[in-house]
Structure 1
Amino acid sequence: MIKFEFIVDGPPVSQQARRRERLRAWKVTVRQEAEKYWSSERQVGIGPILLQITYFYDSVAMDVDNIVKPIQDALIGLAYVDDTQVTDILVRKRDLSGNFRIEYMTSILAEGFSRGNEFLHIVVINNPDQEVLT
């Protein structure tokens, strides 16, 4: 299993955004931020992908289902060949002023908190366990 993570300052732009140029600009931002954390030795994922997105917000958060597709599209050709490889998606939103617990804080996630504003923590995992839980 190979893991890649990065952060993007928020708020995110919804797939439902009326202004399409705003959505395009958001995808470019996500891609540029991902590229900052991408090492040149890393290869594009070719198998199944788990995409994990956590949106840490300040006051008003958008619906989590509307933030996935632009991020997924922005990572095509970098973290994976095509977004059809994404077999699993875990999306969460957490109020920065609320109560939540973080286990195993990575340096990248800590960087997001240190910026002092809302952000998204995005993790891409190649070849996740394909077990189906019932």
Structure 2
Amino acid sequence: MPIDEDEDVEISFPITFAVLGTPVSLQASAQSREDWKQRVREASRTVVAEHCWASEEQVSLTIYDFPTDATGGDIDNIIKPIQDAMHPQIVQDDEQISRVVAQRFTPHEGENLQSTQIWLPRRW
């Protein structure tokens, strides 16, 4: 959904965006985590205008991970850096994320997808 600068300043949920690249885990270096969070924030700006206010509501976070190979780390370790990246543009505090669903889709022969898609419905 393209951004309309004339729209309301409140985020209209649900929002969906894709982040290209390999998600980092909590065990990654501080610099790697910050780089990944910045990448997530930049991707979110494709669907949430910078003039929008961060939500005060409880939200649900759904993460779909499409790795290029089956050697990726544990999926639970990529969640927190993504949650942290939702603040301050989407939520005022990452404690507002009250439900998280994460799913990894292992690659099939011949496919080469490398992105993390993030869906944020307000209510579930």
* Preserved CA contact (<8 Å) 1:52 1:91: yes
The alpha-carbon deviation at position 41 of structure 1 amounts to: 7.0
Aligned match for 1:36, one of 24, 31, 46 = 46
Structure 1 equivalent of residue 35 of structure 2? 25
Gapped regions of structure 1 (runs ≥ 5): 99-112, 130-134
Gapped regions of structure 2 (runs ≥ 5): 1-11
Letter in 2 for 1:55: D
Structure 1 equivalent of residue 4 of structure 2? none
Structure 1 equivalent of residue 16 of structure 2? 5
Structure 2 equivalent of residue 64 of structure 1? 75
Question: Is the helix fraction higher in 1 or 2?
Answer: 1
Is the counterpart of residue 97 in structure 1 residue 70 in structure 2?
no
Identity across the alignment (%)? 26
SS at match of 2:105: strand
Please, what is the CA RMSD of the aligned residues? Answer: 2.1
- What is the alpha-carbon distance in structure 2 between the residues aligned to residue 29 and residue 41 of structure 1? 19
Count the aligned residue pairs: 111
Letter in 1 for 2:104: K
Aligned match for 1:46, one of 53, 56, 67 = 56
SS at match of 2:44: helix
Structure 1 equivalent of residue 96 of structure 2? 85
- What is the alpha-carbon distance in structure 2 between the residues aligned to residue 117 and residue 91 of structure 1? 17
For residues 28-66 of structure 1, the C-alpha deviation after alignment (integer angstroms, 9 at most, x for no partner) is 111111112213575422111100001011212221111
Structure 1 equivalent of residue 115 of structure 2? 119
TM-score (norm: length of structure 1) = 0.74
SS at match of 1:2: coil
For residues 85-123 of structure 1, the C-alpha deviation after alignment (integer angstroms, 9 at most, x for no partner) is 11100001001317xxxxxxxxxxxxxx9xx53110101
- What is the alpha-carbon distance in structure 1 between the residues aligned to residue 72 and residue 19 of structure 2? 15
